[in-house]
A = this chain, B = another copy of it.
Amino acid sequence: MGDMTEPRWLTDEEQHVWRAYLHATTLLEDHLDRQLQRDAGMPHIYYGLLVQLSQAPRRRLRMTELAKSAKITRSRLSHAIARLEKNGWVRRENCPSDKRGQFARLTDEGMEVLRQNAPGHVAAVRQALFDRLSPDQVKQLGAIMRVMAEGLEPTDADADLPWLR
């Protein structure tokens, strides 16, 4: 822990790549947020929740499952689902096997919103990303992102260890 030696700063190239990364990822995030807010009336993350639900077995998932796969806290999900429920796109259902549990289920209206907006969203992603990258670059991006995720994946160790530093 007490690594008080001179830190290894980023090389010039690394700095450039890092800035390009921050620049590009925030631009894309903003772009998709705006696109979906405008067309579907919700931010990107909310749209992602609907997508997850639409692909789940009976179009429903336990709250904790959904939170995990969307990588947000349960608290945040509670608020988000409350909002989506108000819109009529999601409905809560009790879990019979565990009375603490709740399912979030995608309603038909929610499915319809998804149907209407999926083409536009895919087009936005295409236009920003896949239509601009060469096939090689798409593969490279995939490999790089997988490496990144591996290093950051919240393992069980993280939960147990008292935080480092």
Interface residues of A in 28-63 (CB under 8 A from B): 28-31, 38-39, 48
Copies of this protein in the assembly total: 2
Interface residues of A in 137-165 (CB under 8 A from B): 137-154, 163, 165
CB-contact partner of A10 in B28, B122, B154, under 8 A: B122
A101 within 8 A of B: no
Report which residue of A24, A129, A146, A165 has the largest number of chain B beta carbons within 10 angstroms of its beta carbon: A24
A132 within 8 A of B: yes
Interface contact B129-A133, CB-CB below 8 Å: no
Contact residues in B for A122 (Cβ distance below 8 Å): 7-10
Contact residues in B for A149 (Cβ distance below 8 Å): 20, 23-24, 27
Interface contact A152-B31, CB-CB below 8 Å: yes
Q: Which residue on chain B has the smallest CB distance to residue A45?
A: B26
User: Which of A's residues lie within 8 Å of B, judged by CB?
Assistant: 7-10, 13-14, 16-18, 20-31, 38-39, 48, 71, 118-120, 122-123, 125-130, 132-133, 137-154, 163, 165
Q: Write the nearest CB–CB distance from A135 to chain B, whole angstroms.
A: 9
11 inter-chain pairs at a CB distance below 8 angstroms, sorted by A residue, are: A7-B118, A10-B122, A18-B129, A20-B145, A23-B71, A24-B146, A24-B149, A25-B29, A27-B153, A39-B165, A127-B151
Q: Write the nearest CB–CB distance from A128 to chain B, whole angstroms.
A: 6
